[in-house]
Amino acid sequence: MMTMNTKMTLIAGAVAALSFNALAADSLEEQVRVLSERVQQLEQQGPQVAEGTTFNLYGSLRPTFNYLESGDDSKWDVHDALSRVGIKATTELSNGWVAIAQGEWSVDISHNGDFGKARRAYVALATPYGQLGIGKQRPAQYTLVAEYVDIFNHGNSPFAYDAESPFFVDNFVTYKLEKMGFTLMAGAQISGDKGDDNADLVNVGLGYDLDGLHLGLGYVAADRLDGSNQVIGDDNTLGGVVAYSFDNGLYLAAAYQDKDYNLDGAADRSGSTLDTALAYPFADHYRVKLGYFIFDDGVKGISSNDYDGYNTTLEWQAASNLRLHVEYLVKDFDNADKDSSIAVGMRYDFDMGWNF
């Protein structure tokens, strides 16, 4: 049953399309008849989608209930482990050419369930010669390096990488090529109202996959901007990861980055990040996860924000799209109070697809 608003919209469209026919009609009755026929045609057509299109509506809701301690302070709180909702559409063109569009937005359960902060928003064209994308996307540094240690049910995982490395990049132009187990990725952030006229961030990466093995390298060069979006220096990061999935389900991964900070009028410094991850399944639907991490910002003295820590998680796969977990996390700062937390969380995933 069509709503009144839909009916009015169809009638308005029909009136516009029939402006010349109306002039030629001999009577009011004839105009009404022609108009009615056009409305019926529009009702029968329905939405127009290109043949070969697939459309997915997906999401993941990830609330956690936490007990937090920092020094002598403690509290209970509800957090969010990066809940999101997204849509993705692909259209097969011809000879291996595919059009891709994706939008993904956060759902912040810890703040009134707020919806709308964009995680991804891009259009891409995949061809036999590689994929070109424009918009907000994952960088190579995450896709080929950090993703392999990002196995924990927490919004700050990977815990060392999270401090200063990119997860999503806006105003991003990317290229991706996959051949014979190798993945080459390159991207440049081009924001006309920030920094100078050149790219504000450049990221290139190379990955290799063979059976359960993954090797990845990534390099990021990024401008540092002040409050007026003027360039005041740059950061250069070189990172790599080794990950392996064994036949018995054991998963091991370690990712390391070396980062140079070059600031105008200030002493240069060099820092690093280390993230390690282990996962092992047992008793059919359970898995234990362990991680150790170190962040070094290269600052000497009490102003340093260096820390290390570890994560221990027990996870239950209650259904194919439902996980429950208990997590114990410790982050030990060199010059600040140690943070620790115990969290109980849930993760509910959904993915609905349509083919046209």
Tell how many helices (H) and how many strands (E) occur in the chain: 4, 18
Q: Does 4 score more than 60 pLDDT?
A: no
Domain edges within the chain? 1-46, 61-82+92-98+120-355
Q: Is the dihedral of CA 20, 25, 31, 33 positive or negative?
A: negative
Q: What is the C-alpha separation between 321 and 82, in angstroms, rounded?
A: 16
Binned at pLDDT 50, 70 and 90, residue 25 comes out as very low
| CATH (one of 1.20.810.10, 2.40.40.20, 2.40.160.10, 2.160.20.10) for 61-82+92-98+120-355 | 2.40.160.10
Tokens (6 digits) for 172: 């991003």
State the pTM of this model: 0.83
**pLDDT tens, 112-155?**
888 878 999 999 999 999 999 999 999 999 999 999 999 999 99
Place of tokens 């991207």: 187
Largest Cα–Cα separation, the chain: 92
- What are the C-alpha distances in Å from 229 to residues 22, 47, 170, 233, 269? 58, 44, 15, 12, 22
| Exposed/middle/buried for residue 156 (C-beta within 10 Å: 0-12, 13-18, 19+) | middle
Q: Does 12 score more than 70 pLDDT?
A: no
Closest CA to 224 of 237, 238, 209, 214: 237
**pLDDT tens, 207-241?**
999 999 999 999 999 988 777 777 878 899 999 99
Q: Cα–chain-centroid distance for residue 308?
A: 25
Strand residues in 190-230 grouped as ranges (E): 201-210, 213-225
Which residues sit opposite 70 in a β-bridge? Answer: 73, 339
Q: Does 30 score more than 60 pLDDT?
A: yes
| pLDDT recorded at residue 8 | 46
Q: Is the dihedral of CA 179, 131, 141, 353 positive or negative?
A: negative
Query: Which of the two residues, 42 and 219, has the higher pLDDT score?
Result: 219
